[in-house]
């Protein structure tokens, strides 16, 4: 943990702004790990998700964004979370649900915490940088190719909204 803090501090002093530590990793829903460093130089839209939420149909829009922009470098990362008591009991059930109902093939993490003291280091870093903490499922964080938070959105902003697409287009240019 100390090396992450040192990396964050040195990034701040070198650039004048916080950047997401690239050594942050997530457990993958498929097994193994997903590392932010694998996507260095690419924008990443990170979304905390849940399978039993009124916003669950946003998976369709997330997959559509991924399909539209992945060849240009966009990564859409779904982070299932039960912090709002609306996720299925296991990663296996989440994966099956997403594949059957939404044909999801975008990267997904194992079930993670996104708020509070148990929050995943990614979400702690975003909160430290911006003050943004997910208030509900399907909150979105766009990380630019430079590792900086470009923008954040709440649940009611749909994945294919004009403002998200505008920010993605800018991040890809």
Residue 125: how many CA atoms within 13 Å on its side-chain side? Answer: 28
CB under 8 Å to 155, separation ≥6 — which residues? 55, 135, 136, 137, 138, 139
Sequence ranges of the domains in the chain: 2-172
- Establish whether 53 is a catalytic residue: yes
Residues 110-138, buried b or exposed e (16+ Cβ, 10 A)? Answer: bbbbbbeeebbbbbbbbeebeebebebbb
Of 53, 64, 133, 150, the active-site residue reads 53
Q: Which pLDDT tens digits describe the chain residue by residue (173 residues)?
A: 434 333 333 333 333 445 666 679 999 999 999 999 999 999 999 999 999 999 999 999 999 999 999 999 999 999 999 999 999 999 999 999 999 999 999 999 999 999 999 999 999 999 998 999 999 999 999 999 999 999 999 999 999 999 999 999 999 98
pTM of the model: 0.88
8 A C-beta contact, residue 4 and residue 19: no
Topology adopted by domain 2-172: Glutaredoxin (3.40.30)
């Amino acid at each position: 943990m100390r090396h992450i803090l040192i990396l964050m501090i040195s990034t701040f002093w070198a650039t004048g702004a916080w950047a997401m530590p690239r050594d942050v990793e997530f457990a993958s829903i498929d097994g193994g790990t997903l590392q932010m460093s694998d996507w260095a130089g690419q924008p990443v839209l990170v979304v905390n998700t849940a399978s039993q939420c009124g916003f669950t149909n946003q998976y369709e829009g997330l997959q559509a964004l991924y399909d539209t922009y992945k060849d240009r470098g966009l990564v859409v990362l779904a982070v299932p979370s039960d912090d709002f008591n609306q996720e299925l009991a296991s990663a296996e059930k989440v994966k099956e649900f997403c594949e059957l109902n939404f044909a999801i093939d975008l990267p997904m993490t194992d079930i993670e915490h996104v708020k509070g003291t148990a929050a995943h280091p990614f979400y702690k870093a975003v909160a430290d940088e911006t003050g943004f903490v997910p208030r509900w499922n399907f909150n979105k964080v766009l990380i630019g190719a430079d590792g900086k938070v470009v923008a954040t959105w709440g649940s009611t902003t749909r994945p294919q909204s004009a403002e998200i697409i505008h920010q993605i287009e800018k991040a890809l240019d």
